[in-house]
Amino acid sequence: MTSDITLADKTIIVTGASRGIGEAIARACARAGANVVLASRKQEGVDAAAATITAGGGSALAVACHMGQAEDVTALFGRAAEEFGTIHGLVNNAATNPYFGPMLAIEDSAFDKTIEVNLKGPLAASRGFAGQAPAGGSIVNVASVAGLGAAPLQGVYGMTKAALISMTQTLAHELGPMGVRVNAVAPGLVETRFASALIQNEELLKHVVERTPVGRHGQPDEIAGAVVYLLSDAAAFMTGQVMTIDGGWSSG
């Protein structure tokens, strides 16, 4: 195994890749040498993100995929294999958070949507990946610090991220004998459209920043490097782990 952090000659699927953390991960994977398959619900979004990669000399394929729909996930893996052959890595980044407020007040429709995208999607994608993964394959789940403890006003979202961490640990044990590693990253508050409800709330943002040792919130590119490492052979002895990337927020 090499200690170099490179994805040369590898094909990586990144879900939720049209913007934010997912797009940053896709760009970082391409810079590391990978063929990148960008998946997101709307074709125009992933087309734009993929065009940025190819304009820079990278290799990218854009595929519209609703991660909560099993048939879409199956089609995603078929299209990726048709274009690039073996898929070496999967980044389960797609997520939703349609409700912001007290946990007990969430409506069933919002609860079901959160479960569908944040849990059923990663499970379906992991199943698709495991069905063809080579030894040395890697899954990286994008969890959240909201899944590491209480998540006021984001209770169901935090619950799904806690479950995703549990899924990561269980799949690490189940897929390890196949030579497939499964890890997660848990970002803190990162400036994305997804997190705009927090970023644009001065009181909430001030609360987070004041208890963050680095004194600020994060940027998408600051998550991407850790994901590239976990996908690479440099992390060959690492599985079942959660890398927390939050500027020290969760350290106490």
Residues assigned a catalytic role: 157
Retrieve residue 70's tokens.
Answer: 């099993």
d(CA 17, CA 133): 21
Least Cα distance to 192 among 97, 51, 112, 113 occurs for 97
d(CA 36, CA 80): 9
Q: Three-state DSSP class for 110?
A: helix
Retrieve residue 93's tokens.
Answer: 């980044």
Q: In 88-220, where does DSSP find H-type helix?
A: 108-115, 121-130, 155-175, 196-199, 202-210
DSSP label at residue 133 = P
Distances (CA, A) of 149 to 158, 160, 163: 8, 12, 12
